[in-house]
Structure 1
Amino acid sequence: MYMHELNMTSFTDFAQRVDTVLIPIGMIEAHGPHCSLSTDILIPREFVRRLNPLIGDRVLMAPEIPYGHSFGLAPFAGTIDIPGEVFGAYVFEVAKAYLKQGMQNVVLFNGHGGNMSSLSLVSEKLADHGATVLTINWWVDYRAEIVKYAPVTGHAGEDETSAVLAIDPALVDMRLGVSNHTITTPSNLKMKDMGKQSYPQAYSGHAGAATAEKGEQIYTALLPKIIADIEQMWKYSR
């Protein structure tokens, strides 16, 4: 059930029957010269749209959190970078407010890599407050399935670009030189503006191979796996 469709009365009734909230979390940032700045919002939103008819009677679908942390892509136009500690504190307070409203289980459905470290700490803090927390980083957790349809994954690469094309082809401009780019900067190295070296055009992977059909295949393949993970969370919930 979408929270924004409820009023105070219907929310009170729903919260008496349901103890799980799913919070979509994204980012506004550069996704190459070709893909929407809101890619990391659009994809979680689309997963929620498809999940709602399947498990919406058991899960409260919260409004999304659109801003996050992006050290790597911060140097590029269109990236709205929030410090990791600020972002993490905000997500924690949002989720904690849902605990006060009767939610016991929290699903942090993340669409952006730069959020991962902060969300790991958030999940631990929420657990200390009594919640059972499932964090889903869809492109990481289900990569073994994704590569069946988009073999060269990456930031705004074949997988993400395909997922956006499946939502709306108008959000992607495939004319803008979307070839294959591999990150060569060591993952354990940090330096100022390193994203310009790691991602010379603000993307990685084989974006030029993306299609809407591949995106549709990814959504279809991942939905049952996401539901299975949520159902597993319920087995551990107190």
Structure 2
Amino acid sequence: MYMMDLTASKFKEIKSSVDTVLLPIGMIEMHGPHCSLGTDVWIPREFVRRLDQRIGDRVLMAPEVAYGHSWGLAPFEGTIDISAEAFSQYVYEIGKEFHRNGFEQIVLFNGHGGNIPSLTTVAEKLADLGMKVLTINWWVDYREQILEITKGPGHGGEDETSLILAIDEKLADPSLAGDHQVNMNPKIKYEKSGKVLFKDGYLGNAGAATAEKGERLYEMMLELVLSDIEDLWRVAYESVN
């Protein structure tokens, strides 16, 4: 169920049967010349829509966090970069408030790579409050399975672009992109190194993306996400028994 649809009295009522909240987290940033600036928001939002159809009676779907940290893409037009410190504290405060409101489990459903270090810290701090925390970074967690469908993944690459096309083909145009690969060690950082790594604001074979591939990715990953959430519930159940 969507939190924004609830009245305060309904919210209070559902807490007697729902103890898990899912927080979608994204980013507004450059995704090449071919993909929406909101790609990292659109994809978690679509997962939430599909998850709500399957487990909406057991999970509260919280409003999304649309802005995150993107040091590497900050030099590009359209990127709204929030400092790691401010972003981390903000998400932590949201999680803390859900805990104060009685939620014992939280799923941090992340759509952006630059958020990962911050969310690792947030998860640990929320766990210290007593919450059970599941963090999902779909392109990392399910990479092996993704490569069975899209061979050219990357920021704004074949996987992300396909997922966007499956939502709405007006949000991406793969004909504007090709296959951008850079022989650069991403662990090395220097001022505006993202301009070199991503060149035109993307990485991977975006030109090979299709809506059909995106739909296959959603169908495949939805089952993996559900399995991860079931694991979260299993841990929560075992901890009280």
User: 1:229 corresponds to which residue?
Assistant: 228
Q: Is the 8 A contact 2:161 2:174 kept in 1?
A: no
How many pairs align?
A: 237
Map 1:130-149 onto structure 2 (within 5 A): 130-149=130-149
User: 2:2 corresponds to which residue?
Assistant: 2
Instruction: Please report how far the alpha carbon of residue 186 of structure 1 lies from its aligned counterpart in structure 2 after TM superposition.
Output: 1.4
Instruction: Please report how far the alpha carbon of residue 140 of structure 1 lies from its aligned counterpart in structure 2 after TM superposition.
Output: 0.6
Q: Equivalent residue of 2:66, what SS?
A: coil
Query: Which string of whole-angstrom CA distances, capped at 9 and with x for unpartnered residues, describes residues 113-136 of structure 1?
Result: 000000000000000000000000
Instruction: Please report how far the alpha carbon of residue 152 of structure 1 lies from its aligned counterpart in structure 2 after TM superposition.
Output: 1.1
User: 2:79 corresponds to which residue?
Assistant: 79
Query: Quick one: which amino acid aligns to residue 206 of structure 1?
Result: N
Q: Is the 8 A contact 2:147 2:153 kept in 1?
A: yes
User: 2:122 corresponds to which residue?
Assistant: 122
Identity within the alignment, %: 56
Query: Quick one: which amino acid aligns to residue 33 of structure 1?
Result: P
Map 1:21-32 onto structure 2 (within 5 A): 21-32=21-32
Query: Quick one: which amino acid aligns to residue 99 of structure 1?
Result: H
Distance 2:205 2:175 in 1: 14
Distance 1:174 1:116 in 2: 27
Runs of 5+ unmatched residues, structure 1: none
Q: Equivalent residue of 2:24, what SS?
A: strand
Distance 2:76 2:106 in 1: 32
Whether 1:210 and 2:226 are equivalent positions in the alignment is no
TM-score by length of 1: 0.98
User: 2:181 corresponds to which residue?
Assistant: 182
Instruction: Please report how far the alpha carbon of residue 71 of structure 1 lies from its aligned counterpart in structure 2 after TM superposition.
Output: 0.8
Q: Equivalent residue of 1:127, what SS?
A: helix
TM-score by length of 2: 0.97
| Residues 121-130 or 181-190, more deviating | 181-190
Query: Quick one: which amino acid aligns to residue 164 of structure 1?
Result: I
Distance 1:190 1:206 in 2: 23
Instruction: Please report how far the alpha carbon of residue 183 of structure 1 lies from its aligned counterpart in structure 2 after TM superposition.
Output: 3.1
User: 1:162 corresponds to which residue?
Assistant: 162
Instruction: Please report how far the alpha carbon of residue 75 of structure 1 lies from its aligned counterpart in structure 2 after TM superposition.
Output: 0.3
| Residues 167-176 or 5-14, more deviating | 167-176
Q: Is the 8 A contact 2:158 2:207 kept in 1?
A: yes
User: 2:69 corresponds to which residue?
Assistant: 69
Q: Equivalent residue of 1:36, what SS?
A: coil
Instruction: Please report how far the alpha carbon of residue 175 of structure 1 lies from its aligned counterpart in structure 2 after TM superposition.
Output: 3.2
Distance 1:105 1:174 in 2: 38
Runs of 5+ unmatched residues, structure 2: none
Runs of 4+ in structure 1 deviating by more than 4 angstroms, as ranges, are none
Distance 2:216 2:15 in 1: 34
Query: Quick one: which amino acid aligns to residue 189 of structure 1?
Result: I
Distance 1:56 1:12 in 2: 16
Query: Quick one: which amino acid aligns to residue 225 of structure 2?
Result: I
Distance 2:173 2:208 in 1: 13
Q: Is the 8 A contact 2:27 2:67 kept in 1?
A: yes
Q: Equivalent residue of 2:163, what SS?
A: helix
User: 1:150 corresponds to which residue?
Assistant: 150
User: 2:54 corresponds to which residue?
Assistant: 54
Instruction: Please report how far the alpha carbon of residue 173 of structure 1 lies from its aligned counterpart in structure 2 after TM superposition.
Output: 2.2
